[in-house]
């Protein structure tokens, strides 16, 4: 069982300015964990894609950034877990939304599959009419 450690921070993501704020916050927290420069960029980029999805399709939402200590298999392994929650229309077909190029809006359809490739763990839970939660984790190697 993973143990969530402080610090944890929570930010609203409702417009393009807050998208930039979310990725800055993620990068700053990740930098304290000892991620490489490339990992920091991957995390910030994944946060940017998911935050934009939330603003564009979910009517905005919030992101939580948490430091994780230990993943159950590797004791003492540290990581950053990002949870993005919106109360938008939800995704009717998550499998399909995870495919490259699938989009219902003006985007390129890269958001979910792209962010998954940039992170180590990635999970989407969505219910139509209720909202969507994306949870993604990157471990410090």
Partner 1 sequence: MRVPILSLGEVLVASIQDALTDRGWRQLQADLLAQAGRRPPPGSRRKTAPRGVVIDLSTMDVMDSYATRSLDGIARMLALRGAETVVVGIQPGVAFAMAQLGLGLASAGTAVDLEAGLALLAEQVRGDGRHHGA
Q: Which of 10, 100, 127, 130 binds partner 1 (CB under 8 A)?
A: 100
Binding segment (CB under 8 A) for partner 1, from list 67-75, 91-99, 105-113, 124-132: 105-113
Residue number with CB closer to partner 1 (45 or 70): 45
Shortest approach of partner 1 to residue 61 CB, angstroms? 17
Contact flag: residue 89 with partner 1 (CB under 8 A): no
Binding segment (CB under 8 A) for partner 1, from list 4-12, 85-93, 102-110, 121-129: 102-110
Residues β-bridged to residue 122: 136
Instruction: For residue 76, give both structure tokens.
Output: 């003492």
Shortest approach of partner 1 to residue 104 CB, angstroms? 15
Rounded CA separation 6/117 (Å):
27
SS3 66: strand
| CA neighbor of 111 nearest in space, from 130, 86, 128 | 86
Binding mask 5-34 for partner 1 (x = CB under 8 A): -----------xx-xx--xx--x-------
SS (H, E, C) 95-128: HHHCCCCCCCCCCCCCHHHHHHHHCCEEEEEEEC
Shortest approach of partner 1 to residue 48 CB, angstroms? 4
Q: Which of 33, 42, 68, 97 binds partner 1 (CB under 8 A)?
A: 42
Using omega within 30 degrees of 0 as the cis cutoff, is the peptide bond preceding 7 cis? yes
Q: Which of 13, 48, 82, 86 binds partner 1 (CB under 8 A)?
A: 48
Residues shown for the chain = 141
């Amino acid at each position: 069982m993973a143990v969530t450690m402080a610090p944890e921070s929570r930010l609203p993501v409702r417009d393009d300015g807050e998208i930039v704020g979310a990725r800055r916050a993620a990068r700053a927290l990740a930098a304290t964990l000892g991620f490489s420069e490339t990992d920091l960029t991957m995390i910030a980029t994944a946060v940017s894609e998911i935050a934009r999805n939330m603003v564009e399709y979910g009517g905005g939402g919030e992101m939580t950034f948490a430091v994780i200590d230990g993943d159950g298999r590797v004791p003492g392994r540290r990581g950053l877990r990002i949870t993005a929650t919106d109360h938008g229309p939800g995704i009717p077909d998550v499998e399909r939304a995870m495919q490259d190029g699938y989009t219902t809006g003006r985007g390129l359809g890269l958001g979910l599959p792209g962010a998954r490739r940039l992170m180590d763990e990635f999970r989407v839970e969505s219910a139509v009419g209720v909202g969507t939660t994306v949870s993604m984790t990157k471990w410090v190697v």
